[in-house]
Amino acid sequence: MAMKRTSIKRRRFLGMGLTAGAAGSLVSCGRTGGGAYWRFFTAAEARTVDAICEQIIPQDDSPGASEAGVVRFIDLQLTRHFRKHREAYRRGVAGVEAAARERSHKSFADLPPDQQEEVLRQVQEKDSEFFALVRVHTMQGYYGDPRHGGNRDEAGWRMLGLPSPPVRGRLPYEKKAG
Amino acid sequence: MALKHVNAVIVGSGAGGGVVAKELAAAGLSVVLLERGRFQSAADCRKDDLRNQRTTVLGNGFGPDDSRNPRVLVGEDGSERVVAASESGYSNNAACVGGGTFSYGAMAWRFMEQDFRMRSIYGAVEGSTLEDWPVGYGDLEPYYDKAEWEMGVSGDVSADPFKAPRRRPLPMPPLPPNREYELLHPAARRLGLHPFDIPMLRNTVPYNGRGPCMRCRWCVGFACEVDARTGTHNTVIPQALATGNCELRTGCMAREIVLDGSGRARGVVYFDADDRRQQQTADLIIVAGGAVESARLLLNSTSRLFPTGLGNRHDWVGRNLQGHTYSGAAGLFDFDTYDDLGPGAQIAVCDYVHGNPGLAGGAMLANEFIRLPYQFVGYVPAYVPPWGAAHKEFMRRAFKRTVVVMGPTQEMPVFDARVQADPKVTDYWGIPVARLSGGRHPHSIEIARFMAEKADAWVKEAGARRTWRRPPGRGLSAGQHQAGTCRMGDDPKTSVVDKYCRLHDVDNVYVIDASVHVTNGGFNPVLTILAIAYYASDNLVKAWKGIRGRA
């Protein structure tokens, strides 16, 4: 149970041992440490959304959506500008879970990647509205500004070979205010 | 307590209102400039790629805010929905001092001579209210010149053989070429086109006390961090305030224009920054809120004399809403074309603005502004899967190797593309909101498809291994280039204002913004809005002095 795909990757990312035994809150173990807190999602929902995002932008030579913390972006924005999408997420995530369990009696996050992809293709057809929403939010969380909770360590920008925003023409004390 | 009476009250501080404020204040009139947004400056540059004026995923960077300013959008099937200001379909421009000029891309085009005579050149187009302007290019040339030199335009249009006659070159040189320019310039020449440097309201050398562009990648949609980009907020509005004759009031939402017993306008009722209802009386009322909000204000100004809205006796206010139908093409290269130099858009051709066989117009074509990572997601072609490993791989491979050429097709005005005051939905202040309905003319889309073909050929010639078209949109068109809703004309039955931008029906109310455009040119419209504002102000001041002289 503890040896999921995400757990291996997360452990590699954080260094061995740091997250051992913290299976229940794997995705919530951000770089900033701290406990498992989510603003909108339940821990189980967060785990599912994290796995969906990782399918949309998977890890290869560079970090995927999971390592880039995209689910944090979505969770945070669901308490801000994305409030109107709360119901869509609650319902959509439940739909993905149901499709996964129907397929192989497992939670979506526990399926092997190829089966996750199959389930998502199903969802893309059956609930295209929800899928389009998660897809575009994943892109925003991965390629958008880290200040909004995603794109951890500018993973998305580094993948494209783009240097960080230079801050020119401002006084040093203003840089911190960002 | 009643507010002190002034000579002129101006509603809106964008391209039109800013210029009028300065011209009237400099001529000695007392002016109040009302702006519903805030005053922002270079220090407000946040480089936020998800919240700015072009990418509004997390809200508008420079207003209006989502909670107070809904609009109603009517689909082509008659369905209605309420949209927030940052949602698509809202046709937002901006709400801040400077209006759109605070965060725009700043292309500073003169329209061509033909753009003022579309009906004479192309004849009647079925289903369109295509018409000539009551003024010609020659009338506006001195004011185009004034806008270019007073505000400051850089670029070099000398290599454009299609340009209308002009008295002198632009005051500032263009930026040094970026890599896209170096690829597209020889390619255009090989195709027999006439490429040149885009005119921009952007300092390339110190001008007007502000420094030059530092070429960052946060340009269109963002505040300019070094204040090199020129808008009314950092030119004419500070000049107007410096005269001592102009008062700028921000956070003020106009409710309606009220009349006196004789049918002349008495003043503007508005809600101030503390939501108190105020009435500013004035001798002259200038409406400059942009094509949607200007029409809305007139339509909401109902009275016994004008039960359907001020100046709307013949049902023309709010009609002919138009923008530009953008289309173009992108191409993938085998080598890096991205050099991280803003603003990115630098090279254009005007070979296809007019004279396209079988088509009533066309567009200028130019390379697109520099693209930020999230924006580039929107440029991924349809042949790439929309998600998964292949999508990511395309992003990685193509982000620095893609060149995009786009053009704003001049639209055929449609009578039923319109702004109305919604009968049910009101905003935060209880004012009926703008209700947008109608679609765009099929011929506009036809022309835009032709433009995409031409853009495709240009990108291919520049060496793209694979190209894909960026097809024109459908549905109602307005957006940041919104225009046309208070048409200028000689006949009061088929237009709203006369050729001096004065309402046919009320002799002390003027509309001075893109609302008066009869047609919107195959170009970004801002320099024309500025020129019209200088032109209308000039006539207004002359008329004013005449009145005063007699008194």
- What 3 state SS string does B425-481 have? EECCCCCEEEEEECCCCHHHHHHHHHHHHHHHHHHHHCCCCEEEEECCCCCCCCHHH
Q: Residue B396 is nearest to which of A81, A144, A160, comparing CB atoms? A: A160
Beta bridge partners of A155: none
Cβ–Cβ contact A77 with B under 8 A: yes
- What pLDDT shows up at residue B4? 97
Task: Please state the three-class secondary structure of B93-160 as a single string.
Answer: CCCECCHHHHCCCCECCCCCHHHHCHHHHHCCCCCCCCCCCCCCHHHHHHHHHHHHHHHHCEEECCCC
Q: Residue B57 is nearest to which of A58, A140, A166, comparing CB atoms? A: A140
pLDDT at B549 over 70: no
- What pLDDT shows up at residue B76? 86
Cβ–Cβ contact B57 with A under 8 A: yes
pLDDT: which is higher, B85 or A14? B85
Do A168 and B389 lie within an 8 Å CB cutoff? no
What is the C-alpha separation between B177 and B157, in angstroms, rounded? 14
Torsion angle (degrees, nearest 10) of CA B383, B389, B391, B396: -120
Cβ–Cβ contact A56 with B under 8 A: yes
Q: pLDDT grade, residue A176 (50/70/90)?
A: very low
pLDDT tens digits, B69-84: 999 999 989 999 999 9
Is the CB of residue B50 less than 8 Å from the CB of residue B59? no
Cβ–Cβ contact B242 with A under 8 A: no
Cβ–Cβ contact B54 with A under 8 A: no
Do A143 and B225 lie within an 8 Å CB cutoff? no
A98 contacts: CB under 8 Å, gap ≥ 6: none
Enumerate residues 3 to 22 of chain A having a beta carbon within 8 A of any beta carbon in chain B.
Answer: none
The arithmetic mean of pLDDT across residues B308-317, rounded, is 98
Residue A79: closest CA among chain B residues belongs to which residue? B58
Residue B43: closest CA among chain A residues belongs to which residue? A170
- CA distances (Å), origin B212, targets B171, B175, B226: 13, 10, 8
Tokens 């502000």 locate to B210
- What pLDDT shows up at residue A14? 42
Residue A121: closest CA among chain B residues belongs to which residue? B387
The length of chain B is 551
Residues from chain A that touch B58, judged by Cβ atoms under 8 A, are: 77, 80-81, 148
What is the C-alpha separation between B188 and B378, in angstroms, rounded? 26
Beta-carbon count within 10 A of B287 CB: 32
Instruction: Give DSSP secondary structure letters for B363-394.
Output: --EEEPPP--HHHHHTT--TTS-SSSHHHHHH
Is the CB of residue B350 less than 8 Å from the CB of residue B160? yes
Beta bridge partners of A80: none
Residues from chain B that touch A63, judged by Cβ atoms under 8 A, are: none
Cβ–Cβ contact B70 with A under 8 A: no
- What single-letter DSSP state applies at residue A60? S
Task: Show the CA angle centred on residue B59, arms to residues B56 and B61, nearest 5°.
Answer: 80
A127 contacts: CB under 8 Å, gap ≥ 6: A92, A95
Phi-psi region of B209 (alpha: psi -120 to 50; beta: other; left: phi over 0): left
pLDDT at A13 over 80: no
Tokens for B55?
Answer: 């990418």
- What pLDDT shows up at residue B102? 98
Do B396 and A58 lie within an 8 Å CB cutoff? no
- What pLDDT shows up at residue A8? 43
- What pLDDT shows up at residue A21? 37
What is the C-alpha separation between A62 and B451, in angstroms, rounded? 38
Q: pLDDT grade, residue B2 (50/70/90)?
A: confident
Do B396 and A143 lie within an 8 Å CB cutoff? no
Cβ–Cβ contact B336 with A under 8 A: no
The arithmetic mean of pLDDT across residues B350-356, rounded, is 98
Q: Residue A140 is nearest to which of B50, B216, B393, comparing CB atoms? A: B50
The arithmetic mean of pLDDT across residues B25-37, rounded, is 98
Q: B491, exposed or middle or buried, with CB in 10 Å at 0-12, 13-18, 19+? A: exposed
The arithmetic mean of pLDDT across residues B512-534, rounded, is 98
Tokens 């929309």 locate to B386
B233 contacts: CB under 8 Å, gap ≥ 6: B13, B18, B39, B40, B41, B96, B97, B98, B101, B102
What is the C-alpha separation between B348 and B408, in angstroms, rounded? 12
Instruction: Give DSSP secondary structure letters for B184-205.
Output: HHHHHHHTT---EEEEESB-SS
Q: Which pTM was predicted?
A: 0.93
Residue B398: closest CA among chain A residues belongs to which residue? A160
The arithmetic mean of pLDDT across residues B356-380, rounded, is 97
Task: Show the CA angle centred on residue B137, arms to residues B197 and B496, nearest 5°.
Answer: 120
- CA distances (Å), origin A137, targets A55, A149, B373: 13, 12, 14
pLDDT at B343 over 50: yes
- What is the average pLDDT score of chain A? 82
| HSE, side-chain direction, 13 A CA sphere, residue B331 | 25
The arithmetic mean of pLDDT across residues B11-29, rounded, is 98
What is the DSSP pairing of strand B6-11 with strand B418-426?
unpaired
- What pLDDT shows up at residue B548? 63
Angle between helices B526-550 and B137-147 (to 10 degrees): 100
- What pLDDT shows up at residue B126? 97
What is the C-alpha separation between A63 and B362, in angstroms, rounded? 45
pLDDT tens digits, B406-464: 999 999 999 999 999 999 999 999 999 999 999 999 999 999 999 999 999 999 999 99
Q: Is B545 helix (H, G, I), strand (E, B) or coil?
A: helix
Cβ–Cβ contact A176 with B under 8 A: no
Mutation test of the interface with chain B: which of A80, A117, A145, choosing the one with the most B Cβ atoms within 10 A?
A: A145
- What pLDDT shows up at residue B55? 96
State what percent of residues in chain B have pLDDT above 90: 97
Do B59 and A81 lie within an 8 Å CB cutoff? yes
For chain B, state the CA radius of gyration.
22
Peptide bond into A163 cis (omega under 30): no
- What pLDDT shows up at residue A163? 83
Do A169 and B49 lie within an 8 Å CB cutoff? no
Do A144 and B49 lie within an 8 Å CB cutoff? yes
Q: Is A72 helix (H, G, I), strand (E, B) or coil?
A: helix
- What is the average pLDDT score of chain B? 97
B27 contacts: CB under 8 Å, gap ≥ 6: B541, B544, B545
- What single-letter DSSP state applies at residue A163? P
- What pLDDT shows up at residue B46? 87
Do B58 and A168 lie within an 8 Å CB cutoff? no
Residues from chain A that touch B225, judged by Cβ atoms under 8 A, are: 168-170
Residues from chain A that touch B400, judged by Cβ atoms under 8 A, are: 160-161
Residue A156: closest CA among chain B residues belongs to which residue? B373
Cβ–Cβ contact A48 with B under 8 A: no
Q: pLDDT grade, residue B104 (50/70/90)?
A: very high
pLDDT at A177 over 60: no
- What single-letter DSSP state applies at residue B303? -
Return the minimum-mean-pLDDT range out of A78-82, A121-125, A142-146, A173-177. Answer: A173-177
Is the CB of residue A61 less than 8 Å from the CB of residue A137? no
B119 contacts: CB under 8 Å, gap ≥ 6: B130, B131, B132
The arithmetic mean of pLDDT across residues B314-320, rounded, is 98
Residues from chain B that touch A165, judged by Cβ atoms under 8 A, are: 47, 218
Tokens 């599912």 locate to A48
Q: pLDDT grade, residue A36 (50/70/90)?
A: low
Q: pLDDT grade, residue B43 (50/70/90)?
A: confident
Do A57 and B387 lie within an 8 Å CB cutoff? yes
pLDDT tens digits, B461-490: 999 999 999 999 989 999 999 999 999 999
Residues from chain A that touch B392, judged by Cβ atoms under 8 A, are: 57-58, 60, 64, 159
The arithmetic mean of pLDDT across residues B372-393, rounded, is 97
The arithmetic mean of pLDDT across residues B339-353, rounded, is 97
Q: Residue B392 is nearest to which of A58, A117, A170, comparing CB atoms? A: A58
- CA distances (Å), origin B242, targets B26, B236, B280, B376, B511: 9, 10, 21, 42, 25
Question: Minimal Cα–Cα distance from B22 to chain A, Å?
Answer: 29
- What pLDDT shows up at residue A35? 52
Do A55 and B388 lie within an 8 Å CB cutoff? yes
Residue B44: closest CA among chain A residues belongs to which residue? A178
Is the CB of residue B409 less than 8 Å from the CB of residue B325? yes
The arithmetic mean of pLDDT across residues B143-172, rounded, is 98
Amino acid letter, residue A162: L
pLDDT: which is higher, A20 or B223? B223
pLDDT: which is higher, B404 or A24? B404
Q: B191, exposed or middle or buried, with CB in 10 Å at 0-12, 13-18, 19+? A: middle
Q: What are phi and psi of B13, to 5 degrees?
A: -120, 35
- What pLDDT shows up at residue A167? 58
Return the minimum-mean-pLDDT range out of A13-27, A35-49, B361-375. Answer: A13-27
Q: pLDDT grade, residue A1 (50/70/90)?
A: very low
pLDDT at A26 over 60: no
